[in-house]
Amino acid sequence: MQLIKPDININFIGFRKVAFAISVAMILISIISLVIHGGPKQGIDFVGGAEMRIKFESQVSIEALKAGLAAIELGNASVQQYDRPGANTYRILIDSNVAADDAISTKMQGAIEAATGVKLSIESFEMVGPQVGKSLREKALLAMFIALLLITVYISGRFELKWMVSIVIAAVLALAVYLFKSVGFNIPWLMVGALIVAIALFWFLELKYAMGAIVALIHDVTITVGLFSIFDKEFTLPIIAALLTIIGYSLNDTIIVYDRIRENLRKYHRNPLTTIINRSVNETLGRTILTSFTTLVVVVTLFVLGGGIIHDFAFALIVGVMVGTYSSIYVASPILLAWQGRAKK
């Protein structure tokens, strides 16, 4: 079965300015949403607290459930319907200072049953201390940062044969982040600064493939995080795993396109770079569409039928697959044209 004709010739690069405008708009909306909400909404994995999932024998109202929590001075607890509508399953989040009470789950069960008049069963009760949550948050951010640095080392070595230069840059940035972390610097802002410095170094040292790849990955992660902020979804450890999966998926797409660009640069070195990039993207288009489609079928199925436990994880993957495919074509590849303009100047 042939999805894409071998002689297809879509002018992807001709739409690059429109695509850049769309990307900038999506990134700005994501950043504005994050600023308004004070950053991504963090789950108990990162801020500490307790999560209790309960299931009622029959239907109850959220108002009655909240009234029961208010009776034991838990009126500030967050209550969400869990799983599909009509499942009578709810998720309750409480602060870490209240969760420290060893008997809190028993008290909550008694108060809720008294307020609703319906029996319930506790499906799970998980608690994370604030210090553990802070440590998990920092380790998750470090994992993403180190993954990005290792990716740039691989890209530079494979496509530009500048292994030592990229290894030195990655090692210096990782060491700087570690040292500043040791003296108490704010980790998120520290990593943002380190990534900006890394991009500047890639530009100065002419590591064009590495820069294209890392800009595309930052683009994908920023938009995914922004959509989580817009839809008020929580960031938990599984979502960090989803972001790392997105990074790997997007990088795979980018490498396929870069490989074809490198091959065509040797074959058609007399042609303009715009023509070569267009040819390369068109030649890999069938593989890109087939891979993205089959992946989306799986994650959409998980999103629809997987239940509340993996709902947000599947949502992150859906966004990441679509944005990652888009960035491989309209972000990573056109960045190579910036070097052509730089060389001419």
Q: Cα(85)–Cα(89) distance, rounded to whole angstroms?
A: 9
Q: Confirm if 246 and 146 have CB atoms less than 8 A apart.
A: no
114: helix, coil or strand? helix
Q: Cα(312)–Cα(302) distance, rounded to whole angstroms?
A: 10
Question: What average pLDDT score do residues 96-104 get?
Answer: 69
Positions of CATH 1.20.1640.10 in the chain: 13-43+132-344
Q: Confirm if 313 and 205 have CB atoms less than 8 A apart.
A: no
Angle at 121 between CA 118 and CA 126, to 5 degrees: 130
The model's pTM:
0.84
Question: Residue 14 is encoded by which pair of tokens?
Answer: 């001709």
With bands split at pLDDT 50, 70 and 90, how would you rate the model's confidence at 132? low
pLDDT at position 315 is 94
DSSP notation for 273-297 = HHHHHHHHHHHTHHHHHHHHHHHHH
Q: Does domain 49-128 have CATH number 3.30.390.10?
A: no
The amino acid present at 230, given as its one-letter code, is I
pLDDT at position 285 is 87
Q: Cα(83)–Cα(309) distance, rounded to whole angstroms?
A: 8
Backbone angles phi, psi at 232, to 5 degrees: 55, 45
Write the pLDDT tens digit of every residue in 209-234. 888 888 999 999 999 999 999 998 88
76: helix, coil or strand? coil
First to last CA, the chain: 46
Phi-psi region of 49 (alpha: psi -120 to 50; beta: other; left: phi over 0): left
Angle at 223 between CA 191 and CA 95, to 5 degrees: 70
Phi-psi region of 265 (alpha: psi -120 to 50; beta: other; left: phi over 0): alpha
Q: Confirm if 336 and 237 have CB atoms less than 8 A apart.
A: no
Identify the CATH number of the domain defined by range 13-43+132-344: 1.20.1640.10
Positions of CATH 3.30.70.3220 in the chain: 49-128
Angle at 78 between CA 74 and CA 83, to 5 degrees: 130
Q: Cα(4)–Cα(26) distance, rounded to whole angstroms?
A: 29
More confident residue, 22 or 338: 22
Write the pLDDT tens digit of every residue in 32-69. 999 998 888 887 777 777 888 888 888 888 888 888 88
Which is it for the CA torsion 204, 208, 210, 213, positive or negative?
positive
Q: Confirm if 228 and 316 have CB atoms less than 8 A apart.
A: yes
